[in-house]
Structure 1
Amino acid sequence: MITNIARGVQAFTSNAFLVEGERTVLVDTGSNFDAVGRIRERDAELDAVVLTHTHHDHVGNLQSVEDAFGVETWGFDTDQPGVDNAIADEETVRLGDHAYTALHTPGHKNDHLCFYSSAASVLFAGDLIFQNGSFGRTDLEEGDRRRLVESIDRVRDTVDEHLAEMHVGHGPSVTTDPYQDVELAGRAARMG
């Protein structure tokens, strides 16, 4: 089961997805809300935190979540504050009941990862791709439009057109033809 524990939060935050199952994982912690309380409301025993990237809106609650649940954090770059363990490009990571492939997808930030499970038909897209073909900002430090386009293309070539769910860093998850949103993002990013 995948739940956005940041849903309904009015403060500036990213989405934060609690993936429950064999290995219960929080994908991004969000910021400026009580993530610990929302996890406890679900009676979830957290096993780990996995990060799409380390912008503050995605990791603001990291320390409180680690302290409350005694978990470690996994991300692409252990040189980033709060990242205890590295996830390599194309490494397999268990989120809930499924194995996901980690895809290093820079362009928005150098340490950006997406996570894709063909068995579950789910993509965690972080801030690379959003609903309706929107895509991550490239005007921040480490932003690079050319690399962003390459990363979107890589995701498009990895997922298939039957992708069922795309969980994104901001805004609603996409459960109606998310592959189309991936394709649209690639086209839109080339034009911008």
Structure 2
Amino acid sequence: MIRNLAAGQAGMTSNVFLIDGERTVLVDVGAGFDVVDAAREHVNAIDAVVLTHTHPDHVGNLDAVTEAFGVDVWGYDPDQKGVDHAIDDGETVQLGDHAYEAIHTPGHKNDHVCLYAPASGVLFAGDLVFANGGFGRTDLAEGDRPTLIESIERLYSRVEGNLTEIHVGHGPSVETNPLQDVELALQAARMGA
């Protein structure tokens, strides 16, 4: 089961997804709210944290989570503060009961990855794409619109034909026609390039 622990939170936080099952994992940890208590409402233990990228709104609660649950943290760049283990492009990562493929998707931030489960069609998109054709900012450090467009194109080619839902870094998840939202994000990003 996938739950957004940040649903209803005010302030500058990312979504925080708790995926329980064989390997209970948090995808991103958010910032500025008690994510530890939110997680403990559903599970007693967490096996790992996986980060889509290391912007402060996605990692602000990292110290609290690692201290409370004694977990290691996986992300694309182990040189980033708090990241214990690297996830390489194309590597398989177990989230809950499913195997997810890590897809390196820079453009919003150099260490950005999406996580895609081909068997179920579920995608954790971080801040690459959002509902209704939104896409990640490129005006922050490490942001680059042409690189972001290439990443959306790469993601689209990987998930085309088998995308059932997208869990995004901000805003609502997409469970109806999710590929259309990726297409719209690609079109919108190209228009501003």
Per the normalisation by structure 2, the TM-score is 0.98
Match of 2:168 in 1: 168
Tell me the SS of whatever aligns to 1:128: coil
Match of 2:140 in 1: 140
Match of 1:56 in 2: 56
Tell me the SS of whatever aligns to 1:65: helix
Query: What's the RMSD between the two structures over aligned residues?
Result: 0.7
Partners of 1:24 and 1:44 within 8 A in 2:
no
Structure 2 residue ranges without an equivalent (≥5) = none
Partners of 1:162 and 1:177 within 8 A in 2:
no
Aligned partners of 1:171, 1:22: CA distance in 2, in Å? 27
Aligned partners of 1:101, 1:24: CA distance in 2, in Å? 17
Match of 2:91 in 1: 91
Partners of 1:77 and 1:83 within 8 A in 2:
yes
Partners of 2:118 and 2:162 within 8 A in 1:
no
Report whether the alignment pairs 1:80 with 2:56: no
Deviations 1:91-118 (A, max 9, x none): 0000000000000000000000000001
Aligned partners of 1:173, 1:87: CA distance in 2, in Å? 24
How many residue pairs match? The answer is 192
Sequence identity of aligned pairs in percent? 66
Aligned partners of 1:51, 1:188: CA distance in 2, in Å? 26
Tell me the SS of whatever aligns to 1:94: strand
Q: CA deviation at 1:162?
A: 3.9
Structure 1 residue ranges without an equivalent (≥5) = none
Aligned partners of 1:23, 1:122: CA distance in 2, in Å? 16
Tell me the SS of whatever aligns to 2:101: strand
Tell me the SS of whatever aligns to 1:49: strand
Match of 1:121 in 2: 121
Aligned partners of 1:180, 1:162: CA distance in 2, in Å? 12
Deviations 1:97-150 (A, max 9, x none): 000000000000000000000112100000000000110000000000000000
Letter in structure 2 aligned against 1:29: V
Q: CA deviation at 1:38?
A: 0.4
Q: Report 1:1-192 matches (<5 A).
A: 1-192=1-192
Q: CA deviation at 1:43?
A: 2.4
Aligned partners of 2:175, 2:117: CA distance in 1, in Å? 15
- After the TM superposition, which segments of 4 or more aligned residues of structure 1 sit over 2 Å from their partners? none
Q: CA deviation at 1:164?
A: 1.1
Aligned partners of 1:127, 1:27: CA distance in 2, in Å? 12
Tell me the SS of whatever aligns to 2:152: helix
Aligned partners of 2:48, 2:102: CA distance in 1, in Å? 15
Tell me the SS of whatever aligns to 1:153: helix
Aligned partners of 2:160, 2:29: CA distance in 1, in Å? 28
Aligned partners of 1:148, 1:6: CA distance in 2, in Å? 25
Aligned partners of 1:25, 1:112: CA distance in 2, in Å? 18
Tell me the SS of whatever aligns to 1:123: strand
